[in-house]
Amino acid sequence: MNENLLKIAEKLISTGSLSTTEYEFLIDNRNTEIAEILKNEAVKKRKEVYGNTVFIRGLIEISNICKNDCLYCGIRASNKSCDRYRLTKEEILSCCDEGYSLGFRTFVMQGGEDLHFTDEILVDIVKSIKEKYPDCAVTLSLGERSRESYQKLYDAGADRYLLRHETADEEHYSKLHPNKMSYKTRMECLKNLKEIGYQTGCGFMVGSPYQTTENLAKDLKFIEEFSPEMCGIGPFIPHVATEFRDFSSGDVELTCYLLSIIRLIKPTILLPATTALGTAEQGGREKGILCGANVIMPNLSPHSVRKKYELYNNKLISGNESAQEIENLKNSMKNIGYEIVTDRGDIKEN
Ligand code: SAH
């Protein structure tokens, strides 16, 4: 075993902090032995905070209409072959009804940047969910909005906001997004969300086009410094109707390795084993949990629209991905020694 590698791993385990160069070294020189060490330590830390519990979130994909044109994304504005839809308030509330009876206590409303969803419309929906289900958390994942808008939604009762930073390197950011979008705006949004008081989630794709190890190291350093309550990472998977169609998918092992590292950076973090991880490899989500993840977000969208929210090729929409299959998911977690709980699943700050 490379002595330097071990030393860096030990530093991460004991302090939760490394320099960008050290993160880079840890990624570039990884081997199965060091991955096993980090995984065991990550699981140990997650168990100290969360025991063997796994939190679930009901994911409601409220619209695939989007004004943005992110180069990697299947629902980007310029994808003319995307069959667009938007859920009504009634449809969203009935997803919550079904979710509640299945044991979900967090609802995540995710969607493209659909201009139909004004502050007024969203405030009304958030308030309605919170009135009906005051014991539930509402998470929003609706992209970039103004600080005022984030504030209004927070005041209406939204608890959490997911906005992946996508990459913590400005130049890399510009290769993944159209000129209209900027790294600075994305970072500004994240800062605003946190200042307002949301439990805030950032995150990135593993193996996105043009990504270097240095980029990933910067992502880790950013997570360390921003200290988000949540972090979503999953492998990049190409979508046939985007210009990134010929790039290969991100690596499952590397994604799991990074999950362990993120758990070690911030032991209390809410860390999902994502749909993309489950899509990239059968059993991928279980692998993620075994490497330190503690959240799963099954799909609670109406069956009729699931296929249409296609961010990447072959996105899982059935099997354990489906909220309705929660019993199967519970069993598959039980088989690996974990337990799905009925709980809002807030971060346990210590
Ligand atoms: N409009 C919202 C939701 C975007 S979809 C927002 O901007 O936050 C949620 C996440 O899916 C994105 O942040 C991105 O990281 C991920 N994603 C999009 N396309 C993907 C692809 N081709 N492969 C893997 N993940 C992808």
| pLDDT value for 320 | 84
How much distance in Å is there from the Cα of 40 to the middle of ligand 1?
29
How much distance in Å is there from the Cα of 125 to the middle of ligand 1?
23
| pLDDT value for 350 | 64
Q: Ligand 1 atom 24: the closest Cα is on which residue?
A: 236
The CA–CA distances, whole Å, from 100 to 135, 162, 223 equal 10, 21, 32
- For the chain (350 residues), the mean pLDDT of every run of 10, in chain order, is 94 98 98 98 98 98 98 98 98 98 98 98 98 98 98 98 98 98 98 98 98 98 98 98 97 98 98 96 97 98 96 89 91 97 93
| pLDDT value for 1 | 73
Q: Ligand 1 atom 12: the closest Cα is on which residue?
A: 164
The response to whether residue 164 sits with its C-beta less than 6 Å from ligand 1 reads: yes
The response to whether residue 112 sits with its C-beta less than 6 Å from ligand 1 reads: yes
The response to whether residue 242 sits with its C-beta less than 6 Å from ligand 1 reads: no
Whether 317 contacts 323, CB under 8 Å: no
The angle at the Cα of 325, spanning 319 to 329, to the nearest 5 degrees, equals 85
The response to whether residue 236 sits with its C-beta less than 6 Å from ligand 1 reads: yes
Question: Could you give the count of Cα atoms lying within 13 Å of 291 in the half-sphere of its Cβ?
Answer: 28
How much distance in Å is there from the Cα of 214 to the middle of ligand 1?
21
The response to whether residue 141 sits with its C-beta less than 6 Å from ligand 1 reads: yes
Please give the model's pTM, rounded to 2 decimal places.
0.98
| pLDDT value for 324 | 87
| pLDDT value for 96 | 98
